[in-house]
Amino acid sequence: MLYHVTMDVKIPQDLPAAERADILAREKAYSQDLQRQGKWRHIWRVAGHYANVSIFDVRDNAELHEILSALPLFPFMEIKVTPMLRHPSAIREDDS
């Protein structure tokens, strides 16, 4: 199942630099692993914001929730999820 997910990141300014660096490194490794697995299909940065727009391809709501809540930056995120399904007028068969 495909999901359109927006993530706005709001890291506290007073978070110690070492802790911030550790969280960001773990976030990058985790997200890249999910991309390699095909679960995090697309990720785009939102210009001018510490935010991204992503497409996830996972089994169901429960798997998406498990993935998102395991993000190291999760405590500092505002997340909006929109389930998606194939449009009947779509011509590409490889993007369902």
Express each pLDDT in 30-83 by its tens digit: 999 999 999 999 999 999 999 999 999 999 999 999 999 999 999 999 999 999
Is residue 41, in this structure, part of any structural domain at all? yes
How does residue 8 score in pLDDT terms, banded at 50, 70 and 90?
very high
Domain that holds residue 35: 2-84
Sign of CA dihedral 18, 21, 24, 30: negative
Residue 86: per-residue pLDDT:
84
What is the DSSP secondary structure assignment for residue 93, as one 8-state letter?
A: T
Is residue 90, in this structure, part of any structural domain at all? no
* CA distances to 19, 30, 32 from 40, in Å: 25, 10, 8
Is residue 14, in this structure, part of any structural domain at all? yes
d(CA 74, CA 69): 6
Between 31 and 91, the more confident residue is 31
Structural domain tally of the chain?
Answer: 1
On whether the CB atoms of residues 3 and 84 are closer than 8 A, the answer is: yes
The pTM assigned to this predicted structure is 0.90
Nearest to 24 by CA among 8, 40, 13, 11: 11
